[in-house]
Amino acid sequence: MKIDRFVENRTGIVTSDVSPVESDANIRSLKDNGFSVIVTVDDYDFNLSWKAGRDETIRHYQCTFGDYPHPTGWELQHLNEFFLYEISYGRNVALWCRDEQVKNQIIESINLNRGNLSFSEFIQQKLESQPERASKIPEKLTHCKSCTEKGCNTRLVCHVTSVTDAEIILRTGEILSASKARGKTGEELALEDRNAAGDPPDYFDYVMFTFGNCTAGDRLVMERPLGRSPSPEELSEEFKPGVRFYFRYADLVRHPGFCSDGYHYCKIRDNIRLLDRVIVIIAPESARNVLLKEVSPELKERLIFVDETEYPDILSWSHQAYKLAEKYYWIGKR
């Protein structure tokens, strides 16, 4: 395995016939060389950020494209944001690509001409320009097809949480980041067993969103009490849906706390008030009595209950929730 460094020595290009994450020895070697994240680009079924091998202190981001091995300019810029975000938090990133042409395209997209700007100024400028670029997102992303729609419909995003947490959110009228909600630092939360994915401390300073038809949010709700990724059986016969808070993506792009970290397409720093931007909240019928206890009249109007027994697995539930949410897209549109 060979490592060539570029971008202020903060990024490494890994040359190897096989992905470095297939070997614990290679993972250790990259960690010993100062890398915190390994990005592998290949013909995957979906993108995923998770702990690399048995080492809980280094992450693996498996990345693919809708028409692999032919990335669009938008996809390259989104991956570019991943590198810039990680570097801005002091983490070095190693990159491995199955396809040589893809590797060259990614390197070119990262090695952008920054003129007279220092590297830190360049990163800051790119992060500040995120909302403008994010607003040009395609209507559908097809790098992941793990849903009924066979791709991410980007008009709506949602924050998915457990019924217990949703009760607090409806009572207070705002969604808080994990660090704000639990009164702990990101460093403390990153060490908890419920952080099965190995997310870094800064992730806990944000309210996270998935696209409206995505299954990832409900997976995460099940994953936390399990401390691991749910099995296929748990996502079907034993599936328990969370509560989905739906927003228009275009509204959140204009939020002052908006950020894209190159993996999550949308997250909001610290907190977001529901009455400002939420369009509909979809919850399982079994949670009706709990969630209606202290909800305000304004939010009660946006709260819809669905009989989860009619949609007993994660795919059918996500699909139905999204179909309902789409009907509210134009209500109160700015």
pLDDT of residue 328: 92
Beta partners for residue 11, in sequence order: 6, 93
Q: How do residues 103-141 score in pLDDT, each as one tens digit?
A: 999 988 876 556 677 777 877 777 778 878 777 899 999
Q: How do residues 228-250 score in pLDDT, each as one tens digit?
A: 778 888 888 888 999 999 999 99
Q: Which of 206, 218, 213, 208 is nearest to 156 (CA)?
A: 213
Kindly give, in sequence order, each residue whose CB lies less than 8 Å from that of residue 54, ignoring residues fewer than 6 positions away: 24
- Enumerate helices (H) and strands (E) in the chain, giving the number of each: 14, 17
d(CA 186, CA 182): 10
Helices within 98-256 (DSSP H only)? 100-110, 119-128, 130-134, 163-172, 178-182, 186-190, 216-226, 249-253
pLDDT of residue 114: 66
CA distances to 27, 42, 81, 305 from 69, in Å: 25, 8, 19, 42
pLDDT of residue 230: 83
What domains, with CATH codes, occur in the chain?
2-128 (3.90.190.10), 137-326 (no CATH)
* Low-confidence stretches of the chain (pLDDT beneath 50): none
Place of tokens 């498996």: 62
d(CA 308, CA 43): 34
